[in-house]
Amino acid sequence: MMESGPITGPVVTDATAGETALRSPDLAGVPAKPNPAADELGGTFWRRFAFRRPLAALILQRLGLSVGLLFAVSLMIFGGIEALPGDFATTYLGQSATPQAVENIRKDLGLDRPWSERYLSWLGGAVQGDFGTSWASRNSVSEQIGNRLGNSLFLAFFAALISVPLAVGLGMLAVQFRNRLPDKIINVISLAAISLPEFFIGYLLIMFFAVKWGVATFPATVYDSMGFTERLSAIALPVATLVLVVLAHMMRMTRAAILNVMSSAYVETAELKGLGTFRIIARHAAPNAVAPVINVVALNLAYLVVGVVVVEVVFVYPGMGQYMVDAVTVRDMPVVQACGLIFAAFYIFLNMAADILAILANPRLRHPR
Amino acid sequence: MPELLSVKNLKIEATSYPPGEPPKVVTLVEDVSFDLQKGKVLGLIGESGAGKSTIGLSALAYGRGGCRITGGQVLLNGRDILKLGRGGINSVRGRHVCYVAQSAAAAFNPAHKLGDQVIEASLRHGIMNREEATKRALYLFRVLGLPNPETFGDRYPHQVSGGQLQRAMTAMALCPNPELIVFDEPTTALDVTTQIDVLAAIKHAIEETDTAALYITHDLAVVAQISDDIMVLRHGKTVEYGTTKQVIEAPREEYTRALVSVRQAKRDEAPDQTDTLLKIEHVHAGYANGFKVLHDVSMHLPKGQTLAIVGESGSGKSTLARVITGLLPPSEGRITFEGKELPKALKGRTNDELRRIQMIYQMADTAMNPRQTVREIVGRPLSFYFGMHGAKKTERVKELLDQIEMGTRFLDRYPAELSGGQKQRVAIARALAAQPELILCDEPTSALDPLVAEGILNLLLKLQEETAVSYVFITHDIAIVRAIADSVAVMHRGRLVRFGPKSKVLSPPFDDYTDLLLKSVPEMEIGWLEKVLKTRRMESAGN
């Protein structure tokens, strides 16, 4: 349709009447015309606010949605663990599990209470940062996680520090040499890296760098007493593994986003103004490619934090992932729940941050009519 | 007088990659030559695929989407710009030759202010400093009649209307004082009432600055207003090349004659009978976000006749169609079909009620599943409404294809293998398959070339004679209304401005809006634009 505006715009049904909350932040989802004049809008305070300050409203909505989602996830984690076969008491007692002993332990841990009560008390603690005590070690879960999380973030941070600039750089390089040899080489290598599971890449790296050539350390275990440089050399292999895993996805998405922008009419306009290639990419293409690139970067950062589970196990790295895997094997529920919730929180809030940045990068939302 | 631009034996090729076949080289433009002098305007006219834009862009030595200029010369002030390197051509583009795109909305970068984009080329080429460029931009915004010229440059592209963007694009092209501007269908995407303003602004601006122009369009009436010479193109070759007067008034070629005469179709209206098929009474409708689109709209349509709804974009005509189909339930008012009130929402209607009202869309492309063959597309309503299958269904599909004058060899083609006109015909066959009493046609010809559009209109008229189907025909084109309507409804900003039999609606005395609408439709008459502008000035002086 040639027409713009609400006539042919997206059908706004009652479900989406809470304004643009559910729309994607890309340009197409935003109404091209101003909606009604403020005084025509009856209704709630929220609707008037959303009309006057659309940007603030969108961001507040994202925040609200993220918190709501986190609660839903906490419920699902709890439910999922309830549904797991086997329980801590029988695993813990092993051969000596008499019905009486099992009953005693269950009572000890409060497992005889109804699940809704247990959920609420757990949630109440979690909101205040208290995840209870581990069943297996009788230590405070929060304290244990504090150490482990630091290690995991250390790993993820260095992986991100290397992979993000590398991916964006390679993506731009691939665009520059589109369909020529460098582009093809980058594509084939990244496809190979994305196709191999991370534990396999991990073992390959260990085999060559640690076992055959002896240039890297394995296992990548770190201790509190280690110095910074020692730590760095210890995590070299797990970082390399993580970089290889996330690089391809980010690189390919960057390439696609920039190519998409480069084929747009406004880039053609820039070319027909006689501007140089660098100015076209830096001034006309880049600002419009930011949103999709941010999105994929955030998704991969989230994956870095969450996806370390497997890599940590492979490299015997004392992070959250290994802690969680150990806890699952002994059915140490408070630890599993806490780890699950923290992973979910990272995932959700990184994605939210990406959404908000993409919204901020959208001139239609930054400068309403 | 030396030529500013001289194009000699231009040849442009592209490589196409048909699936499953080796790549092949297609010739898009062959042996095209023309000359353009300083301050003159040459109109390039033809259907889509005629190579007009491709030729226009060759004046900037630019090939869009893999087009390559493989032969001939493009001489700008006697220098062949095809032989310049990348750096050399960059000093021509945006400095000596500028380009105005069809869709200014897409051609402006959404991330930057309009003002910065308008002066960018002048600054980068070192033609002026920022202060001078800003001053010139302000002057151009004034000349082009943009509202609040002082602050216009601070706005972002999404903050202004389509007509304003198109004028801003013209300002952007004029800003560096180029010798030549290529206008690529600059008014095609605009409403007629906006088109006339933009057209006048462009004409005024090129006269004022003594710039030469290549004006590309498919609308002969538009090009007649603005150009000194006209070149008619078809399939990448020159059909006719002469002065505007000669081409419009005494076309030499058969094809040009067909183009000139397209607009002259007319049909007498049928008498208004009492046998009403569709009745719309006091309909109000809006979207859930509180935006009200339709205000108290009433009209009716007798059996076997055509009701044309005219209006510009945003007038609510497509929304009215959505209300009739039930896709958008009205907030007030009622719709009666054959004397029986229709349930407001789609969900409340029976299959038979759905069957009796069918729809044809503007973009046949997007209204069809690209993975289905013509047989499946046309056959779907047959099995859905009539439970047909097997040989019986195939037989009926063949009949329908005969009715739309396409024949059975198209049975197993996919939409991608059809031309624009053929796709629209298949869409018509799909609507007919349901044996409807009413077909809603939402601008079915506005994306098509004039000759193809005429074929579609004739087909619709023929089908009406054969099956006595009624049409609600939504359009912004008064010429189409004259050609096919029995009664006419004029809509403006969601209200019904005028409704009645065609002869009454389209003859005086007019209300202000209908008057403006009718006077804005370009006529194929040299000097028409000046005449209209003159009467407008006199009227505004009189007020």
| pLDDT beyond 60 at A32 | no
| Interchain pair A274, B110: CB under 8 A | no
Once rounded to an integer, what is the mean pLDDT over residues B124-146? Answer: 90
Percent of chain B predicted with pLDDT > 70? 97
Per the model's pLDDT, the better-predicted residue between B269 and B75 turns out to be B75
Q: Which of B108, B189, B314 sits opposite A266 (nearest CB)?
A: B108
Instruction: Please name the member of B106, B111, B446 whose beta carbon is closest to the beta carbon of A363.
Output: B111
Query: Which chain B residue shows the shortest CA-CA distance from A275?
Result: B90
Q: B442: which chain A residues are within 8 Å (Cβ-Cβ)? A: 1
Query: B290 and A43 in contact by Cβ < 8 A?
Result: yes
* pLDDT surpassing 50 at residue A3: no
- pLDDT bin (cut points 50, 70, 90) of residue A86 is low
Q: Say whether pLDDT at A39 is over 80.
A: no
**Nearest by CB: A7 against B101, B103, B319:** B319
What pTM, to 2 d.p., does this model score? 0.74
The chain B residue lying nearest A362, using CA atoms, is B111
What local confidence, expressed as pLDDT, does residue A79 receive?
85
Answer whether residue B173 shows pLDDT above 80. yes
**What is the band of A35 on the pLDDT scale with cuts at 50, 70, 90?**
very low
Alpha carbon distance A116, B427 (integer Å) = 57
Interchain proximity B111–A270, CB inside 8 Å: no
Task: Please answer yes or no on whether A2 and B313 come within 8 Å at the CB atom.
Answer: yes
C-alpha to C-alpha distances, B401 to B50, B229, B392, nearest whole angstrom: 28, 42, 14
What's the start-to-end Cα distance of chain B, in Å? 45
- Closest residue in A to B90 (Cα) is A274
Interchain contact, A5 vs B287, CB within 8 Å: no
B192 — pLDDT class (breaks 50, 70, 90): confident
Q: Which residue has the higher pLDDT, B443 or B2?
A: B443
| Weakest-pLDDT range from A45-49, B248-252, B490-494 | A45-49
* A364 with B292: Cβ contact below 8 A: no
Q: Which of B111, B289, B327 sits opposite A287 (nearest CB)?
A: B111
pLDDT (mean) for B24-39: 89
pLDDT over 50 at B462, yes or no:
yes
Mean pLDDT, residues A291-303 taken together: 85
Q: Would the pLDDT of A7 be above 60?
A: no
Using a CB-CB cut-off of 8 Å, the residues of chain B touching A5 are 313-314
Neighbouring-strand partners of residue B341: B336
Residue B272 has pLDDT above 90, yes or no: no
Tens digits of residue pLDDT in A240-283: 888 888 888 888 888 888 888 888 899 999 999 999 888 888 88
Higher pLDDT, B98 or A127: B98
Q: Are strands B332-337 and B276-286 parallel, antiparallel or unpaired?
A: antiparallel
Answer yes or no: is pLDDT of B101 > 60. Answer: yes
Distances (CA, A) of B186 to B143, B159, B224, B247: 17, 19, 15, 22
B-facing residues of A in 34-53 (CB < 8 A) are 35-36, 40-43, 47
Residue A179 touches chain B, beta carbons under 8 Å: no
Plot region of A129 (φ>0 → left; ψ -120 to 50 → alpha; else → beta): left
Q: How far is A168 from chain B (nearest CA, A)?
A: 20
> Which range has the top average pLDDT, A40-44, A299-303, B115-119?
B115-119
Instruction: Looking at the complex, report in whole angstroms how far the Cα of residue B390 sits from the nearest Cα belonging to chain A.
Output: 36
Banded pLDDT at B263 (limits 50, 70, 90)? low
Q: What is the pLDDT of residue B429?
A: 93
* CA-based nearest residue in chain B for residue A280: B109
CB-based burial, B199-221: b 16+ in 10 Å, e otherwise: bbbbbebbeeeebbbbbbbbbbb
pLDDT of amino acid B273: 66
CB pairs under 8 A between A and B: 131
Q: Name B521's Cβ contacts closer than 8 Å, sequence gap at least 6.
A: B192, B477, B478, B479
Q: In this complex, which of A2, A35, A264 lies closest to B289 when CB atoms are compared?
A: A35
CA dist., res. B89 & res. B12, Å (int): 18
In this complex, is the C-beta atom of A149 within 8 Å of any C-beta atom belonging to chain B? no
Q: Which residue of A has its CA nearest to B367?
A: A1
Among partner residues A7, A271, A276, which is closest to B293 by beta-carbon distance? Answer: A7
Give SS3 for B70.
strand
Of A5, A283, A364, which is closest to B314 when you measure between CB atoms? Answer: A5
Is any Cβ of chain B less than 8 angstroms from the Cβ of A265?
yes
Among B155, B158, B190, B325, the residue to mutate for chain A (most A Cβ within 10 A) = B158
Residue with the larger pLDDT of the pair B477 and B428? B428
Most A CBs within 10 Å, among B156, B289, B297, B493, to test the A interface: B289
- Closest by Cβ to A272, choosing from B94, B155, B287: B94
Q: Is the model's pLDDT at A20 over the cut of 50?
A: no
Within 94-123 of A, beta carbons closer than 8 Å to B belong to none
B-chain residues within 8 Å CB-CB of A41? 290
Nearest to A274 among B64, B91, B189 (CB): B91
| Count of C-beta atoms within a 10 Å radius of residue A229 | 8
pLDDT at A117 over 90: no
Contact across the interface for A266 and B162, Cβ inside 8 Å: no
Query: How does DSSP classify residue B45?
Result: E
**Gap from B94 CA to chain A (nearest CA, Å):** 4
Which of B143-152, B240-249, B286-295, B534-543 has the lowest average pLDDT? Answer: B534-543
Q: Is residue B47 classed as helix, strand or coil in its secondary structure?
A: coil
Q: Which of A 52-71 lie inside 8 A of B, CB atoms? A: none
Nearest 5°: CA angle at B86, between B81 and B91? 65
pLDDT digits (tens, 9 = 90+) for B429-448: 999 999 999 999 998 888 78
Sign of the Cα pseudo-torsion (A252, A257, A258, A264, in order): positive
Residue A6's pLDDT band (cuts 50, 70, 90): very low
- CA-CA-CA-CA dihedral for B53, B54, B59, B62, to nearest 10: 120
What is the C-alpha to C-alpha distance for residues A19 and A127, in angstroms, rounded to an integer?
30
Q: What is the pLDDT of residue B274?
A: 67
Contact B313 A284 (CB under 8 A): no
* Residue at B117: amino acid letter: Q
What pLDDT is attached to residue A9? Answer: 35
Name every chain A residue with its beta carbon within 8 A of the beta carbon of B295: none
Convert the pLDDT of each residue in B63-74 to its tens digit: 887 788 898 999
* pLDDT value, residue B355: 93
pLDDT at site A12? 36
Alpha-carbon distance B191 to nearest alpha carbon in chain A (angstroms): 9
State what percent of residues in chain B have pLDDT above 90. Answer: 39
Residue of B nearest to A285 (CA): B109
Q: Is the pLDDT of residue A26 over 60?
A: no
State the average pLDDT over residues B387-407: 90
For residue B509, whether the previous peptide bond is cis, meaning omega lies within 30 degrees of 0, is: yes
For residue A1, pLDDT over 70 is answered with no
Kindly state the average pLDDT of the residues B468-478.
90
pLDDT range class, residue A16, cuts 50, 70, 90:
very low
The pLDDT of A135-143, averaged and rounded, is: 80
> Stretch B476-503: mean pLDDT, rounded?
89
Give the distance from residue B447's alpha carbon to the nearest chain A alpha carbon, in angstroms.
9
Return all residues near B51 (Cβ < 8 A) that are at least 6 apart. Answer: B12, B28, B29, B32, B233, B235, B236
pLDDT at residue A43, rounded to an integer:
60
Given CB atoms, is A272 within the 8 Å cutoff of chain B? Answer: yes
Within 8 A of B311 by CB-CB distance, chain A residues are none
- Given a contact cutoff of 8 angstroms between Cβ atoms, the answer to whether B259 and B220 are in contact is yes
Query: What band does A13 get if pLDDT is binned at 50, 70 and 90?
Result: very low
A272, A275, A280: best mutation site toward chain B, by most B Cβ within 10 Å? A272
Closest CA to B271 of B242, B302, B244: B302
Confidence of residue B22 (pLDDT cuts 50, 70, 90): confident
Q: How far is CA B193 from CA A32, B264, B516, B518, B534, in A?
A: 20, 21, 7, 9, 16
Supply the pLDDT for residue B18. Answer: 67
Answer for the pair A273, B124: CB distance below 8 angstroms, yes or no. yes
Closest Cα in chain A, distance from residue B391 (Å): 37
Report the pLDDT value the prediction gives residue B540, as an integer from 0 to 100. Answer: 67
Name every residue whose Cβ is closer than 8 Å to that of residue B424 and which is 6 or more positions away in sequence: B360, B364, B444, B445, B448, B456
pLDDT score, position A83: 78
- Measured between beta carbons, the chain B residues lying within 8 angstroms of A36 are 289-292
pLDDT-derived band at A95 (thresholds 50, 70, 90) equals: confident
B162: its two tokens: 């389509």
Of B199-203, B319-323, B390-394, the poorest mean pLDDT is in B199-203
Rounded to an integer, the average pLDDT of B156-181 is: 89
- Is A276 touching B (CB cutoff 8 A)? yes
CB–CB of B109 and A12 under 8 A? no
Nearest chain A residue to B173 by CA: give it: A273
| Residue of B90, B107, B327 lying closest to A276 (CB–CB) | B90
Q: Closest residue of B to A265, CA-based?
A: B107
- The three-state secondary structure class of B349 is coil
Contacts of B185 in chain A (CB under 8 A): none
Binding-face residues of A in 239-258 toward B, CB within 8 A? none
Is a pLDDT exceeding 70 seen at residue A8? Answer: no
CB-side exposure of B217: number of CA atoms within 13 Å?
24
Q: Look over chain B and give the mean of its residue pLDDT values, rounded to a whole number.
A: 87
In tens, the pLDDT along B208-220 reads 888 899 999 888 8
Q: Does residue B357 register a pLDDT over 90? A: yes
Burial B416-447 (b: 16+ CB within 10 A, else e): eebebbbbbbbbbbbbbbbebbbbbbbbbbbb
Instruction: Please tell me the least confidently modeled range out of A15-19, A198-202, B178-182, B400-404.
Output: A15-19
Please name the residue of chain B whose CA is at the shortest distance from the CA of residue A31: B158
Tell me the mean pLDDT in the region B73-79. 90
